């Protein structure tokens, strides 16, 4: 079975963390990033981010309609200028969920933002009693 089970691997410190600090793209100072549930007002920005990767054939494109229908599945990473990352966890079955549309703006990649968004999604799946996650 190829189900990825990691709920027990999420530490208490990771569970309680709601905002993160990371070096900004120029390497100067710190940028405060917040991981939060997506809001309806985030949909167009999420679509732009996801479809930028889709144009490079690195991700499946998402329509605005599809994103509005599934906005509750998404978390976003944002700094003071806007959304820098997005990730969705879609429930497939009572014990299985799938990570979808994991995207981080190029200048923010390699800083652990994607990992933090996936961890946030998995914590939510754990609260929803989903037993497994695949990507």
pLDDT of 91: 85
pLDDT of 7: 33
pLDDT of 29: 53
pLDDT of 11: 38
How far apart (Å, rounded) are the C-alpha atoms in residues 104 and 47? 12
User: In the chain, what are the domain boundaries?
Assistant: 7-134
The rounded average pLDDT for each run of 10 residues, N- to C-terminus, in the chain (135 residues) is 32 41 49 90 97 96 96 94 94 85 95 94 69 49
pTM: 0.72
A 10 A CB-CB count for 9 gives: 9
Span 7-134 CATH architecture: 3-Layer(aba) Sandwich (3.40)
Strands (E), the chain: 19-23, 30-37, 74-79, 82-93, 96-104, 133-134
pLDDT of 93: 83
């Amino acid at each position: 079975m190829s189900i990825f089970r990691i709920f027990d691997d999420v530490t208490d410190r990771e569970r309680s963390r709601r905002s993160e600090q990371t070096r900004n793209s120029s390497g100067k100072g710190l940028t405060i990033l917040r991981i939060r549930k997506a809001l309806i007002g985030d949909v167009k920005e999420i679509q732009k981010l996801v479809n930028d990767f889709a144009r490079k054939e690195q991700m499946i494109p998402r329509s605005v309609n599809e994103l509005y229908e599934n906005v509750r599945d998404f978390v976003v990473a944002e700094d003071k200028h806007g959304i820098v990352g997005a990730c969705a966890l879609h429930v497939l079955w009572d014990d299985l969920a799938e990570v979808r549309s994991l995207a981080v703006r190029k200048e923010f990649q390699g800083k652990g933002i994607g990992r933090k968004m996936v961890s946030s999604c998995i914590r939510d799946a754990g609260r929803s009693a989903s037993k497994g996650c695949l990507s």
